Chains A and B, each alone.
Chain A
Amino acid sequence: MSPEDPQKHLEKCWEACWHRARRPVEGVLIPEERAVEIAERMMRNIALDFDELPPEAEFTARVIQETSEATRDLVAGERRKKADPQLHHDPEDRRYSQNLDLDRLQSADPERGFQDPEWNRLPQVLRPLALATLSRKGIKGADAEDVFSDTLVELVRERGNSHSAPILDPTVFEELIPLHARIVQFRAIDWFRRRSALKNQPNSGESFDALTGDPDRPLQFEDGRADTISFEKIYTECREALSPVEWQLVYTLYVAQTATVQDLIQNDGFCAKLGIKPGASGSTRRRAITEMVEEALEKIRENLVF
């Protein structure tokens, strides 16, 4: 796509918007026609906020973020109304057997805290997933059970910065799965750190360094599935770090994938936006684009919290 082609930009935005309405979170599935209605309504609503077509990255990020939120709210409302936690659950999601009632999990007694009997069913859902993750990292048996117990406690522990427990974050039950998975990741790291600190002896399993490789980037330590991050999250966390032109560049090349590098090199208008002189040769343009892309990617790498 030419970066100046608003029609293709809107089509790509629509595609992403519909996908978010269809699957606002992994494990939730909305009927196709319903997703069309939601996506159309969201795009119309958000378009009203702009007098002219905003930059592609900004518009797309906002559209899919608000579509995802609105769809999750809609699912939660319908589940509550029909008292059916399984409503709109993706039948192909085999990670666990059945959704629990999130409202009951989130209901807290002022004195006793989270005591609803629904909590008794939660370990059955989360344990297999957590133990599988911990096993891949070399934490097994009783150690894995201890780590898993810590993660359940952490779900209801009030955080210092927000004064709310993590269990209150999800809108639909399916969001609890990736939330708990992240807690498991961090508790596993803590387990390795504690073990390295307490025992002045060679590790019996894989060392923490061996697991992380790059100590600044814990990404390698996460599940393979977890390294997929939605664009709206990337944009939200890195929005200030990149200039509008840098966003347009990485969005066009990698996010929407609507233009190749060669397309951009041949696009005089886009090259002019990048500050490349009109008469510059193809190799000069390629070099300038490469430098700008690397700079933009480096900023995202530094700012993104994996």
Chain B
Amino acid sequence: MDLELSANLHATRDLLMRSLVVHPEQAPAIPAGLASDLAARFSPRVMRTVVTAPLSWPEKVRAFLSMPAFGAVAAAVVVLGVAVPMMSGPSAETFRGDLPVAQANAVRIIFTADRPEIRAAVEASATFESSALCSMDRSAADTLAGPKVIVDLTSSTITAIDRDGATLHRAAAPTDPGKVADAIALAVSSL
């Protein structure tokens, strides 16, 4: 059923109806290659949503670790970790000059009597760096520069002395070797 248009529009409508194909000849079908190419060119781009089952957290971690991006980031971190110290490595002064400030400020823990079981207990506590521990006689310990804690097992005292030689802490050494490390830590904390 056609629209009931105003009479004055019939001529315009008829003009449009004759405007596209002006000859009755039958056109050949659109070439298959052209049709497919144009259809492919103008086909709407469909966004496909992939539905996946929810993953447990170990699977998520595994998936995360297996991501290429993770590998790339990890490689970058390794490269930076190696390259940055190389590029900004320690200056020559580190080897030729004074000790680094942090090392100069390190507290030395000095044992002044031959009580290997005490030192072994302190080392076993893993409270201190082993390099911070040393043994020497008392006079040598007194003349050693820098902050220090002297564990005098002869007098059974633990003394904390700062870099200026001032005694900041003094306490009796525990008789129990297992508690000596804690007493030393208390002395170190006063420096």
Please list the residues of chain A having a beta carbon within 8 angstroms of any beta carbon in chain B: 6-7, 10-12, 14-16, 18-19, 22-23, 32, 36, 40, 43-44, 47, 50, 52-53, 60, 64, 219, 227-231, 234, 250, 253-257, 260-262, 286, 289-290, 293-294, 297-298, 300-301, 304
Measured CB to CB, the nearest residue on chain B to A6 is: B42
Q: CA separation between A185 and B28, bound complex, in Å? A: 37
Please state if A10 and B28 are interface contacts (CB–CB under 8 Å).
Answer: no
Query: Which of B20, B34, B38 is within 8 Å of A255, CB to CB?
Result: B20
B5-16 CB mask vs A (1 if < 8 Å, else 0) is 110110111011
Please state if A43 and B34 are interface contacts (CB–CB under 8 Å).
Answer: yes
Q: CA separation between A287 and B36, bound complex, in Å? A: 38
Please state if B34 and A14 are interface contacts (CB–CB under 8 Å).
Answer: yes
Please state if A230 and B22 are interface contacts (CB–CB under 8 Å).
Answer: yes
Determine the chain B residues whose CB is within 8 A of the CB of A257 once the complex forms: 17
Please state if A254 and B13 are interface contacts (CB–CB under 8 Å).
Answer: yes
Query: Which of A44, A250, A253, A304 is within 8 Å of B37, CB to CB?
Result: A44
Determine the chain B residues whose CB is within 8 A of the CB of A47 once the complex forms: 38, 41-42
Query: Which of B2, B25, B30 is within 8 Å of A11, CB to CB?
Result: B30
- How many interface residues does B have (CB within 8 Å)? 35
Query: Which of A7, A14, A250, A256 is within 8 Å of B27, CB to CB?
Result: A14
Determine the chain B residues whose CB is within 8 A of the CB of A301 once the complex forms: 8-9, 11-12
| Minimum CB–CB distance for A87 against chain B, Å | 20
Measured CB to CB, the nearest residue on chain A to B21 is: A19
Measured CB to CB, the nearest residue on chain B to A306 is: B15
Please state if B19 and A229 are interface contacts (CB–CB under 8 Å).
Answer: yes
Determine the chain B residues whose CB is within 8 A of the CB of A260 once the complex forms: 1
Q: CA separation between A228 and B3, bound complex, in Å? A: 22
Please state if B3 and A261 are interface contacts (CB–CB under 8 Å).
Answer: yes
Determine the chain B residues whose CB is within 8 A of the CB of A15 once the complex forms: 21, 27, 30
B96 at the interface (CB under 8 A from A): no
B140 at the interface (CB under 8 A from A): no
Determine the chain B residues whose CB is within 8 A of the CB of A297 once the complex forms: 5, 9, 12-13, 16
Q: CA separation between A105 and B28, bound complex, in Å? A: 37
Please state if B38 and A227 are interface contacts (CB–CB under 8 Å).
Answer: no
**Apart from A47-B41, A255-B20: 7 A-B pairs, beta carbons within 8 A:** A19-B25, A19-B27, A52-B42, A227-B11, A293-B5, A300-B12, A301-B11
Q: List 12 A-B contacts (CB under 8 A).
A: A10-B35, A44-B34, A60-B20, A228-B22, A229-B15, A230-B22, A250-B16, A261-B2, A261-B3, A262-B1, A297-B13, A298-B12
